[in-house]
Amino acid sequence: MIQRNPILDFVSHLILGIGVLVVIFPVFITFIGSTQTAEQITSSNPISLWPGNNFLESYRLALFGGKTSGGSTIAPVAPMLWVSLITALTIAIGKIIISLLSAFAIVYFRFPLKNLVFWMIFITLMLPVEVRIGPTYAVVSSLHMLNTYAGLTVPLIASATATFLFRQFFLTVPDELVEAARIDGAGPMRFFWDVLLPLSRTSIAALFVIQFIYGWNQYLWPLLVTTNEDMYPVVLGIKRAIFGEIYVEWNVVMATAILAMLPPALVVILMQKWFVRGLVDTEK
Amino acid sequence: MEKRVLFRSAWLPWLLIAPQMTIILVFFFWPAGQALHQSVLQQDAFGTTAAVFVGLENFRQLFSDPTYLASFKTTAVFSLLVASLGLLIALLLAVMANRVVRGAPVYKTLLIWPYAVAPVVAGVLWLMMFASPYGVVAYALQQMGLPWDHLLNANHAMALIVMAAVWKQISYNFLFFLAGLQSIPHSMIEAATIDGATPWKRFWSIVFPLLSPTTFFLLVINVVYAFFDTFAIVDAVTHGGPGKETAILVYKVYYDGFKAQDMGGSAAQSVVLMIIVIALTVVQFKYVEKKVNY
**Is B23 domain-assigned?**
no
CB contact under 8 A, A235 and B278: no
**Is B4 domain-assigned?**
no
Determine the Cα angle at A104 with ends A99 and A108, to 5°. 160
**Is B96 domain-assigned?**
yes
pLDDT band at B294 (very low <50, low <70, confident <90, very high): very low
C-alpha span between A184 and B220 (Å, rounded): 48
Domain CATH number, residue B237: 1.10.3720.10
Our count of domains for chain B comes to 1
CB contact under 8 A, B117 and A265: yes
pLDDT in the model for residue B134: 78
pLDDT in the model for residue A99: 93
Q: Is the pLDDT of residue A2 over 60?
A: no
pLDDT in the model for residue B90: 95
Evaluate the CA torsion angle B232, A219, A103, B10 in order and state its sign: negative
A82-229 belongs to CATH 1.20.120.330 = no
H or E segment to which residue B124 belongs: helix B119-130
C-alpha span between B212 and B218 (Å, rounded): 10
Q: Is the pLDDT of residue A243 over 80?
A: no
pLDDT band at B200 (very low <50, low <70, confident <90, very high): confident
**Is B9 domain-assigned?**
no
Percent share of chain B, pLDDT over 90? 24
C-alpha span between B168 and B111 (Å, rounded): 10
**Is B24 domain-assigned?**
no
Question: Mind listing the pLDDT tens digit for each residue in B152-198?
Answer: 888 999 999 999 999 999 999 999 999 889 888 888 888 888 888 88
Q: Is A128's Cβ below 8 Å from some Cβ in B?
A: yes
Q: Is the pLDDT of residue A17 over 80?
A: yes
**Is B15 domain-assigned?**
no
Range scoring the smallest mean pLDDT among A122-126, A167-171, A194-198:
A122-126
Its ipTM equals 0.86
**Is B20 domain-assigned?**
no
Of B3, B19, B135, which has the smallest distance from its Cβ to A101's Cβ?
A: B19
DSSP characters over chain A: -PPP-HHHHHHHHHHHHHHHHHHHHHHHHHHHHHTS-HHHHHH-SS--SS--S-HHHHHHHHHH-EE-TTSPEEPPSHHHHHHHHHHHHHHHHHHHHHHHHHHHHHHHB--TTHHHHHHHHHHGGG--GGGGHHHHHHHHHHTT-TTSHHHHHHHHH--HHHHHHHHHHHHHS-HHHHHHHHHTT--HHHHIIIIIHHHTHHHHHHHHHHHHHHHHT--HHHHHH--SGGG--HHHHHHHHHHSSSS--HHHHHHHHHHHHHHHHHHHHHTHHHHHHHHHHHT-
Of B12, B30, B110, which has the smallest distance from its Cβ to A23's Cβ?
A: B110
pLDDT band at A215 (very low <50, low <70, confident <90, very high): very high
Of the residues B121, B178, B220, B221, the best mutation for testing chain A's interface (the one with the most A CB atoms within 10 Å of its CB) is B121
Decide: B178 and B94 in contact? Cβ < 8 Å.
yes
Domain hosting residue B286, numbered range: 62-292
pLDDT in the model for residue A1: 45
Question: Mind listing the pLDDT tens digit for each residue in B6-55?
Answer: 888 888 999 999 999 999 999 888 988 888 888 888 766 555 566 778 77
Interface of A with B in 210-249 (CB under 8 A): 213, 216-217, 219-220, 223-224, 235, 238-239, 242
Average pLDDT, chain A: 86
10 Å Cβ neighbour count for B208? Answer: 13
Domain ranges of chain A: 6-78+233-266, 82-229
Question: Mind listing the pLDDT tens digit for each residue in B229-260?
Answer: 889 999 888 888 787 888 898 898 888 888 87
Q: Is A177's Cβ below 8 Å from some Cβ in B?
A: no
